[in-house]
Amino acid sequence: MDFRRIEWIFLVIFVAIDIFLFVSFRQSGTVQTSGSAQTGDSNGTIIKEMKSDQIKFSQPSAKSSDGYYISSSNNNDLEDKAGSLLGQSTSYSDDQLTSTFKTPVAISNSTAEKATDIMMKDSSQVSHGKEYHYSKQLSTKNQIIYVQDVTNGSIYSQMGEVRFKVSNNEITGYTQGYLSDVQSLREKTDTISEQRALIWLYQYNEIPNGAQIQWTKLGYTKLLSIQESSVYVPTWIIAMKTNNTTGTYLRRVNAFTGAILKSETSAKSVTTD
């Protein structure tokens, strides 16, 4: 992989995206900047507006964090290791491994996580399993989800998750995505705060009146693909319920630029763009 060439292409695209977003914000006039002109008082005013719209949420943190752009290789690592897995049949498609257990694993509500923890630590059951951790927020009665740990965070994308399938109190198999050869691009950069991400989402009309914000997480999601690599960006993942739906919706905000990211579904009876 020509890492320097990939990094250069990525930087050019990144600059173009930033220019486009800046021009769009100036033209629309609907989104305030997060620089010196954006004061704590104006943030507080918008938070009050959200509450007056009956949007329910815990007080968001105004503290910025930091992160990297990271890249991973698009290879067949999981497919290559599939032959080492025991007691399961597998298939591989779109960079994801699908496994079906020959003998389903019986569980109860109290033993489900313990059973999957054991499998994640056993390389004959799940490849690279020790590089993931259990996600209570994403897991449901039908799926037990683990997210991959990488530099300075975790992956909130199907490309970096293990999703165990649960049916009739049995674990029947799993689907796995894995980011290999993860590398940091550029230097560490400050991210917007949780508060700023929530405000931007509200100003983009992505939070309807009466919605309930269930949780927020700062993690990594996919930004773009370049030749044989993919680039991931720090992202605020915001989970919400609305008055008109029973499922949980995930919305994603680029933690560097504040842009809304459209990405794949990855949570409870979830609906995303």
pLDDT tens-digit series, residues 66-110:
999 999 998 889 999 999 999 999 999 989 999 999 999 999 988
Give the span between the Cα atoms of 129 and 119, in whole angstroms: 8
What mean pLDDT, rounded, does the chain reach? Answer: 86
Q: Output the six-digit token pair for 25.
A: 């914000």
Q: Answer whether residue 28 is part of any domain.
A: yes
Q: How many domains does the chain have?
A: 2
Instruction: Kindly report whether the global pTM for this prediction surpasses the value 0.85.
Output: no
Find the helix packing angle between 194-203 and 40-52, rounded to 10°. 60
Do the domain assignments include residue 266?
no
Task: Determine the structural domain holding residue 207 and report its residue range.
Answer: 3-71+182-261
Residues 237 and 248 in one domain: yes
Separation of alpha carbons 135 and 146, rounded Å = 5
Q: Of 149, 181, 213, which residue is a domain's last?
A: 181
| Residues sharing a CB contact under 8 Å with residue 89, sequence separation 6 or more, in sequence order | 99, 100, 102
Based on the fold, state whether residues 247 and 200 are members of the same structural domain: yes
C-alpha–C-alpha distance, residues 99 and 174, integer Å: 5
Q: Are residues 81 and 200 in the same domain?
A: no
For residues 248 and 188, membership in a common domain is answered with yes
Q: Which of 4-18, 48-62, 108-122 has the lowest mean pLDDT?
A: 4-18
The sign of the dihedral angle between the CA atoms of 248, 254, 255, 259 is: negative
pLDDT tens, residue by residue, 180-222: 999 998 889 999 999 999 999 999 999 999 999 999 999 999 9
Q: What is the CATH number of the domain that holds 95?
A: 3.30.310.160
% of the chain beyond a pLDDT of 90: 69
Say which residues have a Cβ less than 8 Å from residue 124's Cβ, sequence separation at least 6: 84, 85, 86
